[in-house]
């Protein structure tokens, strides 16, 4: 047991790392991202390297069809989830006593 009265399990050095969301270029989880390294700055999956930011950050990379498709699928799933959340909220506003 640690000096604070608790400890992490064997093999665990501390709290889990912060969640890193999906890649902003291809929409894949960061562990599955296949975006190339930017030759100018060395970043992976940075939209600014593709010209999505200010002109000073456009490093000349071009999105592939696979990257565009993956990002479209991610955005579609966000829209479906938002619609489902809205419908659920409306249901509970109209039926407050069904808890």
pLDDT tens track for 49-98: 887 655 666 888 889 999 999 999 999 999 999 999 999 999 888 888 76
Q: What is the largest CA-CA distance in the chain?
A: 59
pLDDT of 70 reads: 95
Cα separation, 5 vs 1, in Å, equals: 6
Bridge-partner residues for 44, per DSSP? 37
pTM metric for this prediction = 0.65
Task: Return the higher-pLDDT residue of 92 and 13.
Answer: 92
Burial of residue 92 (number of CB atoms within 10 Å: 0-12, 13-18, 19+): exposed
Mean pLDDT of 8-18: 65
Cβ count near 49 (within 10 Å)? 24
Three-state SS at 44: strand
């Amino acid at each position: 047991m640690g000096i604070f009265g608790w400890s992490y399990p064997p093999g665990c050095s501390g709290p889990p790392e912060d969640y890193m969301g999906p890649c902003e270029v291809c929409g894949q989880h960061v562990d599955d991202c296949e975006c190339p390294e930017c030759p100018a700055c060395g970043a992976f999956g940075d939209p600014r390297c593709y010209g999505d930011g200010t002109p000073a950050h456009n490093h000349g990379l071009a999105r592939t069809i696979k990257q565009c498709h993956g990002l479209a699928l991610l955005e579609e799933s966000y829209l479906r989830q938002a619609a489902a959340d809205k419908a659920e909220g409306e249901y509970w506003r109209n039926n407050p006593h069904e808890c």
